[in-house]
Every structure is written in structure tokens, then in C-alpha cells.
Amino acid sequence: MAHWLRVLLLLLLVAPPAAVAQDAGGEQVIVIFRDDVDAARRERVLRQAGAVPTRHFAHARASAARLVTPGARQALERHPDVVRVIPDRAIEKHAKPTGGSTTTGAQVVPAGVQRIGAAPGSLPLTGAGVGVAVVDTGLDFSHRDLQPLGGVCFTAFTSCQDDEGHGTHVGGIIAARDNAVDVVGVAPDALLYAVKVLDRKGRGTDSTLMAGLDWIVDQTLQGALTPPVRVVNMSLGRPGTLDDNPALRALVQALYNLGITVVVSAGNDPDREVAQQVPATYPEVLAVASTTALDGSNACRFVSGFVAMDTASWFTTDGRFDPTTGIGVTASAPGEDRENITRSCALTSVGILSTRLGGGTTRMAGTSMAAPHVAGVAALLVEQDATVGPEGVRSKIRTGAARHDVAPLDSPASAYSFDGEREGILSAPGALAAP
């Protein structure tokens, strides 16, 4: 029964994106060029081969294009300037709504913020002056609990304002203001930038994601943002492998080399490991799995026990961290409030409470919600020590985790596949105290 419950819930939460982005005019691809080929030459090569360029990336020797003539792919693959032609694969958010919307109300400290020890007044730091880029569906610029500094948009036919809600929810977990209304985030004084790469359905492509990351690299190198971006959150992804898009990884590496900590949701597929998820598989990122923040209830007489606080979420992708390769889950953090077992023995998720598009609050669940808890703690660590880099953040978070070697716990109600490592639960006080 437990396995059947998990399969049913997984079908509801995870809808795999199309493997390749398509357009009415032809297949969308990413063309990787030799390092010495500049943007102007890339443009000529693409057009001569029968492709229409859609984006050139300044900090990865690659361009996105649409193939419009028969034989365009073959012509590009034969060209001496071209290293590789790959599909422009679809990506998507790692969450779904779970209800519980409100429109107004006094400030609530969400269960996830409480679980990681970041409730207001419990820490000496608030993320003040730290720039965090939310690479997502955008942010609600009018939400009284967010007030992002600015944004940039790489989706078609839409503004940089959030039109889906996912990015607004993620942003609230990171940095909802401590202002007596709605909710409060992990780092309430951190400053958010909206980098919109997903559309109103929570979907995008490798190329829209690459455009967002390319922009962050460019703005950082130019010193154009005040404060500069020091943390990036990506609560999104797709099935994939480490080397299936070298240009995307090159942009993540560029962020890493600039000292920017990149936090990524592990994914919502318990039958996969992080090594099978992009960009979570990249060694340069901090991949985050999901756990419950509170004890759940059990009304089913066929299941013994209940889903306790710090249990691995039924939907989470996982994967033991390998210090040699750098691949694997860096931390587990709350991606849902609790899991309840109903009288009919169904497993139901109560999502994390955070900011809602249009005002007020709403609940969502997924590794999308786990990652911004880590991004918020990363902002606290940068405020504590402006020189800390991605590996320093990773080390402090892993060293300072609560219930190390004990949690994440196994669930009595799902067939979660334990990956062999109980890395503990994200702890803001523990990370700040770690050497």
C-alpha cells in the first residue's frame, strides 16, 4: 500500500517536461562553438547553416537557435567552428500548490523558518545588504512582504512581474520582511533580484535559464548591481546528466568562480538520484533535498506510527554527497510543513506557508521550497563573513546540520529509497557557529 500511495502522489506532483523545446518554425537547439569564435561569427555561421539565432551567450561559447531549413543540424555539426549541437531541453519548477491561501493577516513565522532556527530574534544576523537572485518565474513587485530591488526577464510575451506565483513563494521563504504582516523569511533583510526564466506555467528551457545566469555573470563582472548578487536560488530543473549541456554548466562554473553560492532544488522524483537531475548534479551547486518541518497525523489503522518531523519527503530526489566529485545532496531542509495520513490511508502534504502572488500567503510543497531555506542561510553566512565562498558555505551548512547521522528519517507511509547518508537537517545557528 505504501508504494501505491507514493506512485499516486508522484503522478500528481511531477509532470515531466518535454525532452526538447519545439517551435512552430523548427527545433530549438543550443550550438556550442570553439572558444575563439565570437558572437558576430556565431551569428554568421548559424544563418549560413539555415538556423535563426535566438540568443548569444556572452559568458559561454554558445548560442541558442531555431533550425528552419532541412539539413541545418547536419550543416552545423559539420562546421569547423562548431563543437556540438544539443537540444534546447525543457525545464520546470519543482513545486505545486497545496492550498491554504490567505489575503491579509498578522505575521506568521512559518514552520520551516522555525525548524531551521531562524525565527526573528533568534539570530544575530538577518542577511542585511546581501543580494540574492531568485532565478524563477519572477517576483511579485507589489507584494508588501517582498519589495525586490529589480529584475530581468527572459521569457517571451510577458513582463518581469511574476505571473505564475512560484517565484514569489520562493522569494518569501528566503527574504519575506520582518514587518508584522504575512510571513517572515530566513534572511528578512536580504535584497532580492528577480531573474525570470520560467513562464506563466512554471516552464522554461535550458536557453532561458542560461540567459538568466549569463546576465548575473555579466552584471557581476561589470559591478552593475548594488548590492552584488552573492547567492543564487534555482528551484527548478529537469532530468539529465552532468555533461548533457556543457554550456549551461560553464555558466554555473562562472558564478562559482566569482564566489557566488548557487543553491538548487534536488528534484521531485524519488526514483532518481541527484546525479540524474540538471542542474542539481553540478558539483558547483548546493543541491537540497526535502524533509518535513512538523509531525504529521495518522488516521489510517493499516499504517503504524506517523510521519515525524525531519522525515524525508515522499517526493524528494536524494543522493549521497560524494566529497571527491562534489555531486550529491549538500543539505536537507523543510520542503513541506507535514505529511498527514488520512482515514482512507492516503498521504497528504501540507505545504510551506509563504508569500502569494497578488498579496497574502499560500502553501506550496516540493524541493522548490527546501532550496530557499538554504539560500536564506547562505545569505546569513555572507553577511557574517563577506569573504566566504561557495565551498565555505557548503562546509558550514554540512558541519552545522542538526541531527547529523540521525535525519532525514525514513517514512512509515512511503517507499522512500534511503541513499545511505543521513546528512542532518539545515540549522541556521549551527551553520553560523561552524568553523
Query: What are the pLDDT digits (tens) for 201-214?
Result: 999 999 999 999 99
Q: Using alpha carbons, select from 423, 233, 396, 391 the residue that is nearest to residue 318.
A: 423
What's the mean pLDDT in 384-390?
A: 99
What's the mean pLDDT in 404-412?
A: 92
What's the mean pLDDT in 244-273?
A: 98
Are 382 and 259 in contact by the 8 Å Cβ rule? The answer is no
What's the mean pLDDT in 50-72?
A: 98
Which residue numbers are catalytic?
136, 166, 368
What's the mean pLDDT in 364-368?
A: 97
The architecture of the domain spanning 2-16+92-433 is: 3-Layer(aba) Sandwich (3.40)
Q: Is the pLDDT of residue 94 over 50?
A: yes
Question: In whole angstroms, how far apart are CA 319 and each of 256, 315, 418?
Answer: 21, 13, 9
Between residues 287 and 151, the one the model is more confident about? 287
* CATH match of 22-88 with 3.30.70.80: yes
Residues in Cβ contact with 354 at an 8 Å cutoff, skipping those fewer than 6 apart:
110, 169, 170, 172, 173, 176, 183, 185, 361, 362, 363, 364, 369
In whole numbers, what is the pLDDT of the chain averaged over residues? 93
Assigned C-alpha cell, 38: 565570437
Domain ranges of the chain: 2-16+92-433, 22-88
Q: Is the pLDDT of residue 223 over 80?
A: yes
- The pLDDT score that the predictor gives to residue 417 is 56
> 429 exposed, middle or buried (CB, 10 Å; 0-12, 13-18, 19+)?
middle
- The pLDDT score that the predictor gives to residue 160 is 84
Backbone angles phi, psi at 189, to 5 degrees: -105, 5
pLDDT band at 122 (very low <50, low <70, confident <90, very high): very high
Percent with pLDDT over 90 in the chain:
87
> What would the pLDDT profile of 145-204 be if each residue is shown by its tens digit?
998 999 999 998 777 899 999 999 999 999 999 999 999 999 999 999 999 999 999 999
**Is 0.85 surpassed by the pTM of this model?**
yes
Q: Using alpha carbons, select from 113, 146, 192, 89 the residue that is nearest to residue 426.
A: 113
What's the mean pLDDT in 346-352?
A: 94
- The pLDDT score that the predictor gives to residue 98 is 81
How many other β-carbons are positioned within 10 Å of the β-carbon of residue 54? 18
Between residues 19 and 24, the one the model is more confident about? 19
Output Rg (C-alpha) for the chain, integer angstroms. Answer: 21
- The pLDDT score that the predictor gives to residue 145 is 97
Helix, strand, or coil here: 17? coil
